[in-house]
Amino acid sequence: MCGIVGCVADEPVAGILLEGLRRVEYRGYDSAGMATINDGSLKLRKGVGRVDEIEDEQGLSKLKGNIGMAHTRWATHGGVTNENAHPHASCKGLVAVIHNGIIENYVPLKKSLIAKGHRFRSETDTEVIAHLVEDEYKRTRDPTKATIAATKRLKGQYAIALMFQDRPDVIVGARKDAPLIVGVGEGKMFIASDVLAFIGHTDRTIFLDNFEVVEISRDRVKILGPGGKEVKRKPTQVAWELSDLSKSDFAHYTLKEINEQPKTVITASVQEPGKVEQFARAIRRAKSLYITASGTSYHAGLLMKFRLNKEASIRADTVVAGELKEHAGFLRKGSVVVAFSQSGETADVLEAVKGAKSKGAKVYSIVNAAGSTLARESDGVLLLNCGPEVGVAATKSFTAQVVVASMVVDAVLGKKRSNGIKELSEAVAEALKCDEQIRDLVHEYKDRPDFYFVARGYESPVALEGALKLKELSYIHAEGMPASELKHGTLALIEKGTPVVVLNPSGDAHADSLSSAEELKARGAEVIGISDIEDSVYTHFVRLPKVQAKFTPIVEAIPLQLLAYHMAVAKRNDPDYPRNLAKSVTVK
Ligand code: F6R
């Protein structure tokens, strides 16, 4: 979703901001823009399309000035047009704003501002902020005081950065329920929606809390708490490095991240001493236990539930984050919510945990982004340690989530340590060798309109994940389901040549899944079997190495991720930036 990057420096900033824009592209966007202040004048350039196209047309990097801010917009209020792209300026260009979030009360605010004589240029909710701050700035002549006064009138979610034409030394930021951080560099200070925006310049980061307002200048950061009192907070060093952001020799980040997974399983398994046990204790003591997440993270959460229910006899429910409030009746003091999120900023997840906490529940999270809102609002955190995931489709973060969740379940089961990580890493490397075979499958199936993914028991969340990946990247209609559900509707959709992926590792459910494959074949389906045991029922067979039962989802996900990736490439879709998707879904 919208990306924010602002910089005050002792050198021209346009190039730095352009680089930052390219780094936040992965969040998902449809238009972008930049503003700088030079010689007492505020200059804005913006447009629709990819950052590089806008740069070619508008010459963003040619903007002069040592202070500036830039934005990638994911349209919510108002169409995808130049006028609606950020930054937005107030009537006389005194104030400029960029924003991530939704201002819920923008309609009455806009009406009252128009009545006072303000002229609006866009259809966005964001523009009201520029006009409100302008009014307050004229009154107070103080950027921070003006921002505090204006934000008091806003309802909804926001992370904003503001510049003031006659104050070329400061950028002011404010946040409520949307991410905003400060990057502390040498001779330059940043404000951004995530670390990747400035990681090439500094890894020293200050995470802001809700209702805080920050003023950055070239060499100073001043944070004010909700009561207007100054808050002292030291920067923390983030572990991500610039090298994590290169594509290496891979054509896309998605392919690079898929191929990183042998390493992912190792790095995810290295946790701070005692932390996994702390999680396990909380789970064992929970009066009621919910696991919550969205998208791919939800699928990892389903896997954890299976193991807790079956192996530990602990009742756990996994609920998509946007629906957790429907279970509020079971959340109380003594309840535990385990939240999974790569970004730690997914709005539905944040709202779910906020609701759970208000009922007295404790929140334990499994996140990739240290310092994210979810991580900071949790009572305990385990990090995925898989480095930045730039491809919009979650791949290595899923693998890391399954590893970390498995370690927690093993600790709940009383195991002193999780075994088999090294063997798992080797098995993942082995599974990646199916790449050539998957390309052949893509060649054969790329024009089929529908795909189905089925599995039983512990594997069934992987069927959901396979369908999600294929939809996201290839735009082919895909459904995943437990094989037992096939008879209850889906078999009616199977025609001659319909591809159905059957995930069928050796184990208790193997024979039943083979029967499902036979049923599908009898109705004309072409069954793609993914397993460690071959069978004549499969039209195509992808062999996977045998791994411990708890890790089968990790090796099974590999061919499914490759299928989605190569399908996207075959259909000339950009796998790193699929249409209509955002990496970090920061609005509800
Ligand atoms: C799927 C995908 C999304 C995310 C979902 C949750 O490939 O990327 O469905 O899984 O938006 O995101 P996080 O894990 O950041 O909360």
What does the pLDDT look like over 481-518, one tens digit per residue? 999 999 999 999 999 999 999 999 999 999 999 999 99
Q: Which atom of ligand 1 is nearest to the CA of 397?
A: 14
21-73 residue pLDDT tens: 998 888 878 999 999 999 999 999 999 999 999 999 999 999 999 999 999 99
Residue of minimum CA distance from atom 7 in ligand 1:
393
* pLDDT score at 44: 96
At residue 484, the 3 state secondary structure works out as helix
257-276 residue pLDDT tens: 999 999 999 999 999 989 99
User: Is 583 annotated as catalytic?
Assistant: yes
Q: Which atom of ligand 1 is nearest to the CA of 294?
A: 6
Cβ of 465 below 6 Å from ligand 1: no
Q: Which two tokens stand for residue 250?
A: 């891979």
Complete DSSP assignment for 444-470: HHTT-SEEEEEE-GGGHHHHHHHHHHH
Interatomic CA distance for residues 272 and 249, integer angstroms:
32
Of 296, 349, 386, the one to substitute when testing ligand 1's pocket (max ligand atoms within 8 A of C-beta) is 296
> Residue 554 contacts by C-beta under 8 Å, 6 or more apart in sequence?
261, 265, 399, 402, 403, 424, 428, 547
* pLDDT score at 227: 82
Interatomic CA distance for residues 486 and 463, integer angstroms:
13
How deeply is 280 buried, as exposed, middle or buried, from its count of CB atoms within 10 A (0-12, 13-18, 19+)? buried
Residue 577 — very low, low, confident or very high, per pLDDT cuts 50/70/90?
confident
Residue of minimum CA distance from atom 16 in ligand 1:
341
181-201 residue pLDDT tens: 999 999 999 999 988 899 889
Give yes or no for a contact between 49 and 72, defined as CB atoms under 8 angstroms apart: no
Instruction: Please state the rounded mean pLDDT for residues 6-30.
Output: 93
Interatomic CA distance for residues 253 and 131, integer angstroms:
40
How deeply is 250 buried, as exposed, middle or buried, from its count of CB atoms within 10 A (0-12, 13-18, 19+)? middle
Instruction: Please state the rounded mean pLDDT for residues 442-461.
Output: 97
* pLDDT score at 148: 96
* Least trusted range by pLDDT, from 5-9, 91-95, 248-252, 417-421: 417-421
User: Is 7 annotated as catalytic?
Assistant: no
Residue 241 — very low, low, confident or very high, per pLDDT cuts 50/70/90?
low
* pLDDT score at 243: 59
* pLDDT score at 29: 86
> Can 242-419 and 432-577 be said to share one CATH topology?
yes
* Least trusted range by pLDDT, from 293-307, 417-431, 468-482: 417-431
Interatomic CA distance for residues 192 and 369, integer angstroms:
14
Q: Which CATH code, of 3.90.870.10, 3.10.20.600, 3.40.50.11540, 3.40.50.10490, is assigned to 242-419?
A: 3.40.50.10490
* pLDDT score at 246: 79
Confidence (pTM)? 0.87
pLDDT > 80? residue 583: no
Instruction: Please state the rounded mean pLDDT for residues 219-243.
Output: 86
Cβ of 394 below 6 Å from ligand 1: yes
If you ran DSSP here, which 8-state letter would residue 87 be given?
P
Which residue shows structure tokens 């159905």?
A: 500
Interatomic CA distance for residues 322 and 329, integer angstroms:
16
pLDDT > 90? residue 397: yes
Instruction: Please state the rounded mean pLDDT for residues 552-559.
Output: 98
Of 254, 343, 389, the one to substitute when testing ligand 1's pocket (max ligand atoms within 8 A of C-beta) is 343
pLDDT > 80? residue 175: yes
Cβ of 295 below 6 Å from ligand 1: yes
Active-site option among 155, 357, 583, 588:
583
pLDDT > 80? residue 540: yes
* pLDDT score at 55: 96
Q: Where are the domains of the chain?
A: 3-238, 242-419, 432-577
Architecture of domain 3-238: 4-Layer Sandwich (3.60)
For 432-577, which CATH class?
A: alpha beta
Residue 242 — very low, low, confident or very high, per pLDDT cuts 50/70/90?
low
List, as own/partner pairs, every contact residues 417-422 make where C-beta atoms lie below 8 angstroms and the sequence separation is at least 24, other chains included: 418/269, 420/547, 420/548, 420/551, 421/265, 421/266, 421/269, 422/266
3-state helix, strand, coil in the chain (%, to 5): 40, 25, 35
Residue of minimum CA distance from atom 3 in ligand 1:
295
Computed over every residue of the chain, the mean pLDDT equals 94
pLDDT > 90? residue 92: no
Q: Which two tokens stand for residue 41?
A: 């004048």
